[in-house]
Amino acid sequence: MPNGSLSLPARLYLLAWDTTRNELAGTPHLVRAGALTELAQRGLLVDDDGIATPVDMDSRTGDAVLDGLLELVRESRPHRWRGWVPLHARVTAEAVREQLAAEGYLRADKRRALGLFPTVEYALERVAVVDALREEAREVLEGPVRPADVSERDAAVVVLAAAAGVSALVARKERGQYKERLADLGERSGMAAPGLRKIMDELGTALTATAMPTGV
């Protein structure tokens, strides 16, 4: 996918953006699942009998969003993967939003609600980036590239976005027609680290059960 320097949660945030209304149409749960997946793909979070477990207390990624979540997991009591999807998910989504604004993907417009209370509204600056991400995600979902030739990161983006029902990619009611393809992409996304296939299944189940359209 283009803009390869973007983290997995940042890609998902942009993929969920409604370019027609110029607002976020996704959910914080999707962004959190993306961050968990990237940490697992990097081998910094591992599965310990269903529990999301840091490999050590000192590793860092250099990405403020990912490191913030890693620190949260370290300092919190143990939770299953699906438990981490909704737990304080807005914190991760807001951190991604600030990161994207700092890097010029979003524009922060300061306003005053009712003329009194300061507030910030965000608008998409790089529409072409989102259009490109969307086009490439559809190509991953629909083919003709074989799942085995798709990168683990790109496969994870599509699997998670489909589980969350991101309408820009595929509506939930339409997922059935891509069932086999998504299963193959799920296998591919789970090849980056031991136990990741099981983790992806649990995160996908959590997204399907909890993701609801909302802004951040």
Q: Look at residue 38 and give its three-state secondary structure.
A: helix
pLDDT band at 193 (very low <50, low <70, confident <90, very high): confident
126-143 burial by CB neighbour count: b if 16+ within 10 A, else e?
A: beebbeebbebbeebbee
CA distance 136 to 156: 13
- Interatomic CA distance for residues 153 and 139, integer angstroms: 14
Residue type, 120: V
The DSSP call for residue 89 is: H
Token couple for 129? 């980036």
Confidence of residue 20 (pLDDT cuts 50, 70, 90): confident
How much is the average pLDDT of 12-35? 86
Residue pLDDT, tens place only, 63-111: 999 999 999 999 999 999 999 999 999 999 999 999 999 999 999 887 7
Over residues 37-47, the pLDDT tens digits come to: 999 999 999 99
**Cα separation of 190 and 130, whole Å?**
25
Model's pTM, two decimal places? 0.90
Cα–Cα distance between 215 and 82 in angstroms, integer? 21
pLDDT exceeds 60 at position 1? no
CA nearest to 182, candidates 138, 212, 213:
138
